[in-house]
């Protein structure tokens, strides 16, 4: 069992939870994730590691409350326990000294996995900028945390309630047209957003990393549900990723596969009701 040390809301639908998980905290790196099972008999869900503290043996996860299991997580409080917290899983992000300037782009809860990656790039000596996007101001998360180490924090919202009115790609295109040079772009968020970012960076040959979150069941490569096509080859997001070279990702296939179960997902959930 894993004890919840702290928990609070970032907005109406997104929560942050700090979990005491010594073995995960000892080994995890930015880019990796955990498979969480809230209670005995419950489903497993993948959640990206948003932060970790090796000394205090804690791991931070940030999740959006959208279904039964995240609803069960939302019902938990500090001091409660989680049945399973397995990890770290996936490949760590490729972060190494040598690149001078990095810009990260986080759409909504995509800012959560982006945060530890950009922080480690800063520790590696790079100059770091970030663009955060959301439908409105309340959907932009971790602004203060990014401000602690980023040279510039840009924001874009659909309604203009924070930053500029528009999309994160509008800001990226503006920065690049003003002859800002970046050694790498890291985009994490909804698939259409990441595809749009690559549409800007690919013609300019800017290395672009993305994080893919297809349907995932076990997180160990056995089910094959999270397969994606990268550079014409089949990869499993859980063991080969979740971070990939965005310039090689078949986003159209990813988007089609993500929508395969929309009709089933729209049904009235009866998990845990005994019906």
For the chain (275 residues), the mean pLDDT of every run of 10, in chain order, is: 93 93 95 93 90 96 90 93 93 89 94 95 94 92 94 93 90 89 94 95 94 86 87 93 94 85 60 48
Contacts 24+ apart (CB under 8 A), 72-76: 72/38, 72/39, 72/42, 72/272, 73/15, 73/17, 73/36, 73/38, 74/15, 76/4, 76/7, 76/17, 76/38
Residue-level pLDDT at 3? 96
Which of 179, 227, 226 minimizes the C-alpha distance to 204? 179
Read off the pTM.
0.88
Sequence-distant (≥ 6) Cβ neighbours of residue 80 within 8 angstroms? 3, 4
Cα pseudo-dihedral 38, 222, 189, 254, rounded to 10 = -140
- Length of the chain (residues): 275
Residue-level pLDDT at 248? 96
Residue-level pLDDT at 275? 45
Which of 218, 205, 212, 202 minimizes the C-alpha distance to 257? 212
**Quick count: other Cβ atoms within 10 Å of Cβ 195?**
19
Sign for the pseudo-dihedral over CA of 202, 89, 255, 64: negative
């Amino acid at each position: 069992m894993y004890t919840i040390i702290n928990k609070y809301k970032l907005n109406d639908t997104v929560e942050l939870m700090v979990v005491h998980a010594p073995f995960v905290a000892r080994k995890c790196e930015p880019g990796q994730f955990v498979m969480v099972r809230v209670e005995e008999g419950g489903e497993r869900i993948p959640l990206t590691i948003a932060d970790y503290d090796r000394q205090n043996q804690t791991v931070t996860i940030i999740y959006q409350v959208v279904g039964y299991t995240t609803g069960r997580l939302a019902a938990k409080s500090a001091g409660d326990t989680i049945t399973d917290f397995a990890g770290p899983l996936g490949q760590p992000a490729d972060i190494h000294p040598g690149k001078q300037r990095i810009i990260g782009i986080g759409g909504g809860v995509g800012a959560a996995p982006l945060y530890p990656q950009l922080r480690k790039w800063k520790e590696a000596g790079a100059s770091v900028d970030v663009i955060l996007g959301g439908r409105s101001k309340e959907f932009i998360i971790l602004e203060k945390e990014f401000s602690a180490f980023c040279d510039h924090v840009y924001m874009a919202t659909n309604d203009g309630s924070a930053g500029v009115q528009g999309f994160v790609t509008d800001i990226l295109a503006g920065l690049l047209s003003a002859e800002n040079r970046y050694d790498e772009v890291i985009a994490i968020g909804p698939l259409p957003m990441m595809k749009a970012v690559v549409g800007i960076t690919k013609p300019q040959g800017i290395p672009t990393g993305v994080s893919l979150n297809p349907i995932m069941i076990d997180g160990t490569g056995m089910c094959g549900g999270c397969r994606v096509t990268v550079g014409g080859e089949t990869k499993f997001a859980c063991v080969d990723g979740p971070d990939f070279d965005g310039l090689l990702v078949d986003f159209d296939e990813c988007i089609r596969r993500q929508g395969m179960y929309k009709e089933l997902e729209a049904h009235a959930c009866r998990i845990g009701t005994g019906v």
